[in-house]
Chains A and B, each alone.
Chain A
């Protein structure tokens, strides 16, 4: 790692101020950022630690939504009674990110800010139609994710939380890439008051996306059989690497959608 200053602000306002310095960058769990910096893929002047800001840690489960604050760890989401009751699919997703040590450090804000094309949380955020809260605005999931490692966040903008609407039912089905623990393909399917949403991670070159055909089929018939009648999405534009070819991932999208609906 190149040398950097370490800043530990006590409030979101102080963090925003610290981030206005040239090349300053937030750090939360560091589970993505520290390995990246070790490879010298970045050279921040300062790392601004968000995890010591009391306002950024915690979960508020309300009657129609659940707010997970930005620096809340995956382990905290997985173990939270309110989340388990209101959105069990979300608690289970968090419980299967990486391994216990990654879950003890990694945070929801870091995950959605990073928007790794194989990460789990982006599927839940898009699949539940959640709202990403920042220090300056609220961003609907449909506007937030803009392709792999790309989001609507501006320079120095902090994810302060994610607000998830409570669905009638929902679940995440992840086909694990066993070496990295990330999703080779993962699908979050949700039946909400406003309709059905199906979000896919791990598969597309354009990052997390909604599978419109499955949403339409499931809206009239919420069952794995409704998905069975569909053709898999086009292999064109799917990720191809040593772990799986594009048509294999396209096939997995269909299989994991069925599994998510069955599990919901």
Chain B
């Protein structure tokens, strides 16, 4: 066992983990932050995406010990403390970017990484960015719409929800 400490959604946390403990296990089982999902556990689906030092990664493919000392952000850290959704989360709701919602935490965390790197992505760029995020319900169109709308809102433009 090794002890790890990191910042998760702005809070300092620590815990005991095995070498083989995955970051997603530490988050879900150690910290009871179950918003980060495990869809495939084979690095394909992106349901487990979180940010490590600002970069999106698949938490099912990262060892908890390897991110000792890192700054982690999960879906639980996206809304304001009073529960007000972030612009991106609100856009997913407004544009019906989710149905069952299983893929949504990973979609939101992945898209948030895109928008911090590219404030004005084209539809093509959004679709390419979501290569590692699989959704079995929506057919992706509304997810792409939500992300483009959130980008516009964050740039100060207004796009009507349909």
Contacts and interface: CB of A to CB of B under 8 A. Distances in A.
B37 to A, nearest CB: 14
A100 interface: yes
A182 to B, nearest CB: 12
Give the size range of A's interface with the partner.
Answer: 20 to 34
A236 B50 CA distance: 44
B19 A105 contact: no
B132 A3 contact: no
A104 interface: yes
B66 A101 contact: no
B132 A98 contact: yes
B129 A3 contact: no
A29 to B, nearest CB: 8
Nearest to B131: A99
A1 interface: yes
Q: Is the interface of B mostly helix, strand, loop or mixed?
A: mixed
Interface in A34-75: 34-35, 37-38, 46-47, 49, 51, 75
A51 B66 contact: yes
B57 A104 contact: yes
A38 B2 CA distance: 20
Nearest to A96: B128
Interface in A167-186: 181
A5 interface: yes
A46 B114 CA distance: 35
Given A31-B61, A34-B62, 15 more contacts: A1-B20, A3-B19, A6-B19, A6-B66, A35-B61, A98-B131, A99-B46, A99-B131, A99-B132, A99-B133, A101-B57, A101-B58, A102-B58, A105-B62, A181-B131
6 contacts: A31-B43, A34-B43, A35-B61, A100-B131, A101-B132, A102-B58
Closest 7 CB pairs of A and B: A99-B132, A6-B19, A99-B131, A1-B20, A104-B55, A6-B65, A101-B58
